[in-house]
Amino acid sequence: MEKMWAGRFEQALDKRADDFNSSIHFDCKMYKQDITGSMKHAAMLALQGIISDDDCDKITAGLQSILDDLNSGDLAFDMEAEDIHMFVESELTKRIGDVGKRLHTARSRNDQVAVDIRLFLRDETNEIIALIRELLAAILTQAKAHKTSILPGYTHLQRAQPITFAHHLLAYAMMFTRDIGRLEDALRRMNYSPLGSCALSGTTYNTDREFVAKELGFDGITLNSIDGVSDRDFCVELMSAYSTIMMHLSRFSEEIILWSSWEFKFVELSDSYTTGSSIMPQKKNPDMAELVRGKTGRVYGNLFTMLTVLKGIPLAYNKDMQEDKECIFDSIDTLKQCLSVFAPMIETMTVLTDNMYSAAQKGFINATDLADYLTKKGMPFRSAYKIVGQIVAFCINNNLVLETMSLEDYNKYSDLFCEDLYNEISLETCVAKRISAGGTGIDSVEKQIEYVSTFID
Ligand code: ARG
């Protein structure tokens, strides 16, 4: 196929070079955005008297028919085309003749691709935000059902203090609410139209960039044409936000995997989100969570691809920038897949509250509360801490827990211990008395639920 830029060349492009150069097999993903951008560009050209209304109508109808045919599958992408922009333009000219050749007036592929990718990323990121909201809804369903289910909270993966399962889950919800914020921030910063920057320096035509920007839902136009065509900061920002989301999903996955093990058995994932083994008949493996954890690596890697591609590029457009797409497309596909299995996996998991509770009964996770008991009776906290340490050692040596040690034994350590200590160190009291703002007590958990609820619907 003859290249649109063939004019100044005497020899055809080598087949291998042509394949190497071509981006249609991945930038075809942006066909809707490319066609929409072209329609608005044509409308602007007509409004400004750069092309006739009649030509604009033909171009618009032609583009619409291409869009319809691509949507329905009646038209396939021509993999011989150099990229999506060339494909659409040559298809347009095939359909409406020479009028199609007027579309590329006062425009370059450099600003065209810059606008396409912004539009595409805006659409995809909004879908990602919607998926995060679904995940938040799933977390909330579980949190609401487990406001009083007690389990050990961990530090260093050692049993530390009793918490409720709702409180634990809501910690993840907080991460995902921040993720939405990060994505929205990035969207706000990138929502300016580069179209009309042309190749790099603007154009001699009397264009109306503001009109096109508004029509395409941008908040305004980019102010420097060189920056307009060469900026990919928004890709870096989004990919960094995508990586952070994956990091959150990966941490959550790690816990799901631990909780599903026989060693913990805090949750049982639904059959629909687990797999079996080809040899061990008893196995029920948390593959979805493991895959999410594993796929985090490629999303991080894609961020580094993008940063590295950009680091040595002089202004303005350079072909290196074509490498912006595959990595960010892969991150988007990966993230969307992960979020779409993660939400129902959380929603459908069975929480084994009895196992959580019995884990909480071991490990002296109410030791802080016993020290606080003495402190509230006047003993300095450091002294109380030391005594409780000795009591824990005594219990371990005598196969006791704090709840089963006799008052007589307690009084060997301090006269401040009375019968009421047993109530004070019950797991329920420990949790209920954590009334500090943001703590695991019920009022705080209710407040958190209310806050997270504002992020869904
Ligand atoms: N396929 C190209 C890309 O993705 C489009 C822009 C090409 N511009 C150019 N001057 N060759 O970057």
CATH code for the domain of 404: 1.10.40.30
Kindly tell me if the per-residue pLDDT of 372 is higher than 90: yes
- Which residue, judged by its Cα, is nearest atom 7 of ligand 1? 109
For the chain, give the mean pLDDT.
96
| Residue 56 confidence (pLDDT) above 90 | yes
Alpha-carbon gap, residue 40 to 27, rounded angstroms: 20
Q: Whose CA is nearest to atom 2 of ligand 1?
A: 322
- The DSSP symbol for 73 reads T
Q: Which residues contact 217 (CB under 8 A, 6 or more apart)?
A: 122, 191
Give the residue whose CA is nearest to atom 4 of ligand 1.
322
Say if residue 309 is in the same domain as residue 394.
no
**pLDDT of the residue at 284:** 86
Domain boundary at 332, 358, 384, which? Answer: 358
State yes or no: pLDDT of 226 exceeds 80: yes
Give yes or no for residue 457 having a pLDDT over 80. no
Checking if the pLDDT of 176 tops 80, the result is yes
- Evaluate whether residue 278 is within a structural domain: yes
Same-domain pairing of 42 and 188: no
Ligand 1 atom at shortest distance from the alpha carbon of 117 = 4
Q: What's the CATH number where 23 sits? A: 1.10.275.10
Whether 13 and 40 share a structural domain: yes
End-to-end CA distance of the chain: 50
Interval between CA 242 and ligand 1 midpoint (Å): 25
Q: pLDDT tens digits, residue range 420-435?
A: 999 999 999 999 999 9
For CA atoms 383, 159, 400, 408, give the dihedral sign: positive
d(CA 110, ligand 1 centre) in Å: 6
What is the sign, positive or negative, of the torsion defined by CA atoms of 48, 53, 58, 62? positive
422 and 373 Cβ atoms separated by less than 8 Å: no
> Is residue 159's pLDDT more than 80?
yes
Helix (H, G, I), strand (E, B) or coil at 250: helix
The CA 322 to ligand 1 mean position distance, Å, reads 6
Residue 443 CA to residue 431 CA, distance in Å, equals 11
Rg (alpha carbons) of the chain, rounded to whole number: 31
Containing domain of residue 149, as a range? 110-358
What CA–CA distance (Å, rounded) separates 254 from 296?
Answer: 12
Ligand 1 atom, smallest distance to 23 CA: 1
- DSSP for 24-68 reads HHHHGGGHHHHHHHHHHHHHHHHHTTSS-HHHHHHHHHHHHHHHH
Task: Give domain status of residue 19, yes or no.
Answer: yes
Q: Which atom of ligand 1 lies at the shortest distance from residue 84's CA? A: 1
pLDDT of residue 325: 98
Would you say 140 and 173 are in contact if contact means Cβ atoms under 8 Å apart? yes
Return the residue whose CA atom lies nearest to atom 11 of ligand 1: 319
The residue among 105, 123, 154 that closes a domain is: 105
Residue type at 275 in one-letter notation:
T
Q: Round to whole Å and give the CA distance between 202 and 196.
A: 6
Helices (H) and strands (E) in the chain, counts: 19, 6
CA of 19 to the centre of ligand 1 (A): 14
Is the Cβ–Cβ distance between 69 and 61 less than 8 Å? Answer: no
- In the three-class reduction of DSSP (H, G, I as helix; E, B as strand; rest coil), residue 155 is classed as strand
Pocket of ligand 1, beta carbon within 6 A: 23, 27, 83, 109-110, 113, 317, 319, 321-322
**What does the pLDDT read at residue 60?**
98
Looking at the structure, tell me whether residues 221 and 99 fall in a common domain. Answer: no
Q: Which of 109, 111, 116, 119 to mutate to test the pocket of ligand 1 (most atoms within 8 A of CB)?
A: 109
CA-nearest of 360, 387, 357, 352 to 372 is 387
Distance CA 235, CA 340 (A): 22
Identify the pLDDT of residue 261. 96
Residue 278, classed as helix, strand or coil, is: coil
Q: 299 with 271, same domain?
A: yes
Q: What is the pLDDT of residue 281?
A: 78
Asked whether residue 26 is assigned to any structural domain, the reply reads: yes
* pLDDT level of residue 11 (50, 70, 90 thresholds): confident
Residue 7 banded pLDDT, cuts 50, 70, 90: confident
* Ligand 1 pocket test target in 22, 25, 29, 113 with most atoms within 8 Å of CB: 113
**Positions marked catalytic:** 156, 277
pLDDT at 5: 75
Q: Please give the backbone phi and psi of residue 315, each rounded to the nearest 5 degrees, phi first.
A: -70, 150
Pairwise CA distance, residues 200 & 198, whole Å: 6
Residues 242, 335 contacting (CB under 8 angstroms): yes
Q: Among 82, 319, 323, 329, which residue has the most ligand 1 atoms within 8 Å of its CB, making it the best to mutate?
A: 319
For the segment 81-106, what is each residue's pLDDT rounded down to a tens digit?
Answer: 999 999 999 999 999 999 999 999 99
Paired sense of beta strands 192-193 and 220-221, if any: parallel
Same domain, 299 and 402: no
Query: How far does the centroid of ligand 1 lie from the alpha carbon of residue 117, in Å?
Result: 11
CA of 83 to the centre of ligand 1 (A): 8
Distances (CA, A) of 50 to 103, 132, 139, 206: 10, 44, 55, 8
Ligand 1 atom with least separation from CA of 82: 1
Average pLDDT over residues 384-409: 96
Q: What is the pLDDT of residue 275?
A: 85
Amino acid identity of residue 449, one-letter, is I
Q: What is the DSSP letter of 81?
A: S
Distance in angstroms (rounded) separating the CA atoms of residues 426 and 370? 10
Domain total of the chain: 3
**Looking at ligand 1, which residue's alpha carbon is closest to its atom 3?**
322
Ligand 1 geometric centre to CA of 319 (Å): 6
The answer, yes or no, to whether residue 363 has pLDDT greater than 90, is: no
- Let me know whether 126 and 216 are in one domain: yes
Question: Is the residue at 252 inside a domain?
Answer: yes
List the structure tokens of 192. 């300016």
Find the mean pLDDT for residues 347-360: 97
pLDDT tens digits along 274-320: 888 887 878 789 999 999 999 999 999 999 999 999 999 999 999 99
Q: Are 292 and 339 in the same domain?
A: yes
Question: Looking at the structure, do residues 371 and 345 belong to the same domain, yes or no?
Answer: no
